[in-house]
Amino acid sequence: MSEKFTVLAIGAHVGDVELASGGVLASHSLKGDRIVTLALTAGERGVPAGQDIKEYRQQKVKEAQVFADMLGGEAIVFDDSCDGELPDNQEIRMEVCDVIRRVKPNIIITHWKNSMHKDHALTHHIVNDARFFASLSSFERALPAHFAARLYYSENWEDAVDYVPYVYVDFDQAAFDLWIDALSKHWFVTNSKSFKYMDYYKALAVVRGCEARKTYAEAFMVPAETVKVRQSSLW
């Protein structure tokens, strides 16, 4: 039996990781791996006209849970930070550290470092620091240290500056269908008037699939210190 993995995907808002890495998450789910999503805010600033922002926040939390449920996983949404007001402090880094120690992921996926959205860029740094804190037993917390060996940065249309795909992860039709079905439960994905989220990410999965010589794929960056190809010859 192949080794089972735990994948922790961390976004600034509900919907970020579901869009940018949802195909790969669905693929891992179908392989029997454990999927956990963490949103540092609910992403409630995208509230539809005429709807109460608090009600929309509750809706977003439910949408995160539905997506995770459909992948047989778990959704976590922090409730102490507002969309657009993510704090840059030690407290939230340690909160994410605690999630990492509880979930014990083999793989973490989060935002690339550059973004038009301040929450996305800040989440990148929060997660990198939290991963470091989680790995060191000298940071005494309620749970023991855990090192997530692999860290990837997903491809998000808002995080495009200097983003160059490094790793392509392909997935099959079953994973694509599961992803799109789960993604369709997010109101903003199918109803946004400002950006065609569903069309963009479906098309991007096809484009990256073509580049990978597969049907569908999603692209990821890796930390600069891990951009190394190891081989014994040029062949």
**What stretches of 140-185 adopt beta strand conformation (E)?**
150-154, 167-171
234 inside domain:
no
Residues 99-119 have pLDDT tens digits of 999 999 999 999 999 999 999
Joined tokens for residue 92: 């939230």
233 inside domain:
no
Give the largest CA-CA distance in the chain.
63
Domain count, the chain: 1
Exposure letters 163-194 (e unless 16+ CB within 10 A, then b)? beeeeebbbeeebbebbbebbebbbbbeeeee
77 inside domain:
yes
d(C-alpha 88, C-alpha 126), whole Å: 8
176 inside domain:
yes
pLDDT at 3: 81
Residue 77 sits at φ, ψ, to 5 deg, of -130, 120
Residue 9 and residue 17 in contact, taking contact as beta carbons nearer than 8 Å? yes
CB atoms inside a 10 Å sphere around CB 61: 19
231 inside domain:
no
Report the DSSP pairing between strands 216-221 and 167-171: antiparallel
1 inside domain:
no
230 inside domain:
no
The tens-digit pLDDT sequence of the chain (235 residues) is: 468 999 999 999 999 999 999 999 999 999 999 999 999 999 999 999 899 999 999 999 999 999 999 999 999 999 989 999 999 999 999 999 999 999 999 999 999 999 999 999 999 999 999 999 999 999 999 999 999 999 999 999 999 999 999 999 999 999 999 999 999 999 999 999 999 999 999 999 999 999 999 999 999 999 998 888 777 766 7
CB atoms inside a 10 Å sphere around CB 199: 11
189 inside domain:
yes
CATH number at residue 88: 3.40.50.10320
Residues 6+ apart with CB under 8 A from 142: 98
Q: How far apart are the first and last CA of the chain?
A: 32
User: Could you list the residue range(s) of the whole structural domain that residue 50 is in?
Assistant: 6-224
Residue 208 sits at φ, ψ, to 5 deg, of -65, -30
